[in-house]
Structure 1
Amino acid sequence: MERIAITANGPGEIAGWVRPLLTRLFEAQPALEVHLFLVPDDYATGREAQTVAGWFPQVHVYEGKATLRALLGAGGGVPAKMDFVQYLGGDLMHAARLARRSGAAAATYKFSRPAYRELFVRAFAIDLRNVEELAKARVHRDRIVLTGNLAIDGALMEAELPAPSTAPRDGILILPGSRRYEVEQGIPFFFTVAAAIKRVRSDVEIAFGISPFTPMEDVRQAIAGGGHPRVYAMPGRFMVEGGQAYLTDRAETVRFAVLRNALPAAKQARMVITMPGTKTIELAALGKAMLAVTPLNVAEMLAINGPLTYLNRLPVIGERLKRAVVVAAARRFTYFTQPNMDAGRALIAELRGTLTPGRVATVALERFDDRAWLEDSAQALRSLYVEHAGAARRMARGILECAA
């Protein structure tokens, strides 16, 4: 029986990459021994290990100090020998270190560096552009395998689950995100957006899709806190009635269901309002029209890649410097969502910058009522990733071949 190790990091990679791959690996070999190492990540929620254990109780999951001990070869219950190491997120050095320590062959997905030219026996590519990116990173061309985007399979699998009865049928589903900033600031912000929509269109059904990585207690605290003053949001209440969670204003004049099964609910909705991230790829696979919103109102709170993410911790000038860096970086990008980047045009409507809930509500309703845009966007998004379906099965087959 093969023993496979996987390194991964935040919620997007765990849900979009790890989950569909593990599903296909265990489908092919139910007795497979899998060890998942959660590596340090500024975007992690802290609930990744618990969530994976709920999905796949047979997987050995390591985080924090346990992962560090494994990388340093300090034991801690981690097997000394692995048959194969697969990179699925985080810094490449963690997968490289684990492979060298355990004497295992290794493969990467989407990313590589010249230093690992000989280490990775296979490099799974998302698309043709990624094939060329891997080749520029000096991966041997005969080791690059065009596999597809795992997130597409993840979306298609999850969407097959039953939609909750409180899904917003022909309405709007709001996905505020799972990162700490998105929960603390996004939930009150989008709650205020939803309330503004309801004031002018009481007939529109609205619900919130909350990530499985976000504890409901965090949702309760976020809505009660009302967000940073520059988010221009209003506080509300988290309540549970008949086993169903809701967000309400303090007078209970509006009420929005809180759902865990976001993608089955999205299939029922006419449109989705979301933060940019892996979910935009998953929703694109379902052919769902979207408005992607990136508020930069408190840009100094955003996590960004690299050491500059800690700029705001500097005394006196730190927050100003961090805000300037984030805003300057945002201006360099034509699009914030991966589907728009891949298509080279705006299939998803995007809003960014210092935003008010009223402005977002107005744009959302304009898009919601634009039937031509909804249909064109849905069709173009659905066709964008159709060839990626089956990526998880192709990758699982490749891993098992290499590990045998």
Structure 2
Amino acid sequence: MALLSGGAPPYDILILSNGPGELTTWVRPVVMELRQQLPQARLSLVLSPCPHASGQEAKMAQEFIQIDRVQDPDFFLAFLLTGQTEEAWDWAKRGVVLFLGGDQFFAIWIAQRLRYRLVVYAEHQPRWQPWVDAFALRTEEIKRRYDGGWLLGHCWASKMHVVGDLMADGVASATYLPGMPVSGWLSSRSFSTQTPAAASKPTAGFSSLTQIPALSEAVPSEGTVPEPVPNRFAQEGLLPRGWQRLSDGGRTHYQVGLLPGSKPAKLSLGVPMMLAVADELRQQLPNIRFVIPVAPGQTPQSLAGYAHPKFNPDMALVYGTSGALEQTNLGAQFITPFGSTIQLWTTFPAYSVLANCDLCLTTIGANTAELARLGVPMVVVIPTNKLEAMRAWDGILGLLVNLPGIGTGLARWINRLALGWLGHLAWPNIWAGREVVPELRGHLRPVQVAEQAQVLLEDPQRRRQMQAELQQLGGKPGAAQAIVQLVAQQLSKS
């Protein structure tokens, strides 16, 4: 994006974020809106260390989100201590720091150092109120709980602004994007065809985005083939080979998405378990197809390591199945020893694929919020077969469980305690305060997961009910626009 002629930009907007979920669902829609409302701003992204990170966040930001400047998390501490970036960035006199993930205290530190105004997107808790200029809050409930209270005379109320759920914007902003091929493998474009209508759909700007259609009544069918359910994408764009729209009345098979995660701690358990679940389901429902959307930062080859017992000793802990990676002229796929075929979808984002799944089996994380926004029925799988593998805690806990030597024991102990008192872990259940989608938690076997999945697949009425509840929870786009308006207000005060 061209800046004003003459070299230096009129103002800088520094975005602080961390993990891949925040980048894809928070940073991307805000950047799209910033480009429209504040085209003269120079956009910089500083990545803070994150236990969920894949190591590819900087590349993703540059290539997919199109940030002007990106600071790798490896240099974050040096930036905090010295104020110098790796490439010695210059800064405009006017600017705003925008917090979109990580630790809010870091945003305060950076804003004070640069003498910029500070806007914080607070999904749950707005912290450090005296030093933040404006809070963008997800819900009215958060505003009521954290606006200062009667003791402080609501002195922070003027800083609290309800903008809505930014996750809804993240999904909506990518609904009709053709996607970004995952590096290191043949793009899925080679075995799919984009519909002309989808190809002509605008991809930038919220004004051009179309809402996901509301649910409609499905036409029942007989027999053991899947019953048609409402199509959540009128024009779904690219789909894997053999994949059909959910509204197709002549569909002859179930379509199941497998989301094992994107980080080593999850993948070492998730990949072999999901392959084993596919084997179990195929025995009960032969008319079924599977797909694994390859997450950013991963490739089919890297996933293959988790599907091989020689390279993944955790496979036995979840009673998992191995898989051989095959590359055909139609794309990549896993073949299990029992003959199950699992396609690998290597274009990101994979919303068109997920929206046309009868059911998804997924780990916890931002993906559960994305599926909720898409209205996709899901079973959330939280295996505790290896407690020490769960080290994705923020703050002090995150530091403790990752300490060398004693970190493994601490992780096992902390996770055992935490799982005893933590409530719902999937985002739709957290939002609703009840179990909208099943959460399978504990020392799991693939047959347990497969049984729950089979129950839902054979109960289209329950899945339609789940779809309706999920879409009500997903919220409506608009948070990104409201956040950018707050940024513009703070720029006018700087």
- For residue 176 of structure 1, what is the aligned residue in structure 2? 260
Which of the numbers 375, 380, 387 marks the counterpart of 1:292?
380
The answer to whether the aligner puts 1:254 opposite 2:340 as a matched pair is yes
Q: Contact 2:49–2:74 (CA<8 Å) still a contact in 1?
A: no
2:48 and 2:404 map into 1 onto residues whose CA distance is 26
| 1:215 to 1:100, Cα distance in 2 relative to 1, 3 A | farther
- For residue 460 of structure 2, what is the aligned residue in structure 1? 371
Runs of 4+ in structure 1 off by over 6 angstroms are none
Partner SS, residue 355 of structure 1? coil
2:451 and 2:313 map into 1 onto residues whose CA distance is 21
- For residue 9 of structure 1, what is the aligned residue in structure 2? 18
Partner SS, residue 159 of structure 1? coil
- For residue 286 of structure 2, what is the aligned residue in structure 1? 202
- For residue 300 of structure 2, what is the aligned residue in structure 1? 216
2:313 and 2:29 map into 1 onto residues whose CA distance is 34
| 1:287 to 1:47, Cα distance in 2 relative to 1, 3 A | same
Partner SS, residue 161 of structure 2? strand
Structure 1 residues 223-275: Cα deviation after superposition (integer angstroms, max 9, x where no partner): 22355121211221222212512122257x22111113422111111111111
Q: CA deviation at 1:157?
A: 2.3
RMSD between aligned residues: 2.3
Q: Contact 1:158–1:263 (CA<8 Å) still a contact in 2?
A: yes
The TM-score normalised by the length of structure 2 is 0.76
Q: Contact 2:300–2:344 (CA<8 Å) still a contact in 1?
A: no
1:14 and 1:277 map into 2 onto residues whose CA distance is 13
Q: CA deviation at 1:333?
A: 2.5
- For residue 59 of structure 1, what is the aligned residue in structure 2? 68
| 1:109 to 1:299, Cα distance in 2 relative to 1, 3 A | same
One-letter amino acid matched to 1:209:
P
Which of the numbers 108, 111, 116 marks the counterpart of 1:96?
108
Which of the numbers 90, 96, 103 marks the counterpart of 1:79?
90
Q: CA deviation at 1:166?
A: 3.3
What pairs up with 1:88-127 in 2 under 5 angstroms? Answer: 88-110=100-122, 116-127=128-139
- For residue 208 of structure 2, what is the aligned residue in structure 1? none
Q: CA deviation at 1:150?
A: 1.0
The TM-score normalised by the length of structure 1 is 0.92
- For residue 160 of structure 1, what is the aligned residue in structure 2? 176
Q: Contact 1:24–1:396 (CA<8 Å) still a contact in 2?
A: yes
One-letter amino acid matched to 2:27:
V
Q: CA deviation at 1:200?
A: 2.1
1:117 and 1:165 map into 2 onto residues whose CA distance is 48
Structure 1 residues 305-346: Cα deviation after superposition (integer angstroms, max 9, x where no partner): 34444447675x864553232122112123111211211221
1:24 and 1:182 map into 2 onto residues whose CA distance is 33
Q: Contact 1:226–1:233 (CA<8 Å) still a contact in 2?
A: no
Structure 1 residues 320-377: Cα deviation after superposition (integer angstroms, max 9, x where no partner): 5532321221121231112112112211111111101111111111111112210111
What pairs up with 1:270-349 in 2 under 5 angstroms? Answer: 270-303=358-391, 304-309=393-398, 310-311=400-401, 319-349=408-438
One-letter amino acid matched to 1:258:
L
1:339 and 1:250 map into 2 onto residues whose CA distance is 35
Which of the numbers 119, 140, 146 marks the counterpart of 1:134?
146
1:334 and 1:65 map into 2 onto residues whose CA distance is 33
Larger-Rg structure = 2
1:30 and 1:271 map into 2 onto residues whose CA distance is 40
Partner SS, residue 380 of structure 2? strand
One-letter amino acid matched to 1:190:
M
| 1:58 to 1:113, Cα distance in 2 relative to 1, 3 A | closer
2:457 and 2:359 map into 1 onto residues whose CA distance is 7
Q: CA deviation at 1:67?
A: 3.0
| 1:41 to 1:58, Cα distance in 2 relative to 1, 3 A | closer
Structure 1 residues 15-68: Cα deviation after superposition (integer angstroms, max 9, x where no partner): 111111111111323443101000011111111111111113342110134333
Q: CA deviation at 1:87?
A: 0.7
One-letter amino acid matched to 1:12:
G
Q: CA deviation at 1:168?
A: 4.5
Identity of aligned residues (%): 23
Structure 1 residues 137-158: Cα deviation after superposition (integer angstroms, max 9, x where no partner): 9871111110011111111222
Structure 1 residues 264-302: Cα deviation after superposition (integer angstroms, max 9, x where no partner): 111111111111111111211121111111011001111
Residue range with higher mean Cα deviation, 23-32 or 349-358: 23-32
The answer to whether the aligner puts 1:240 opposite 2:327 as a matched pair is yes
One-letter amino acid matched to 2:79:
A
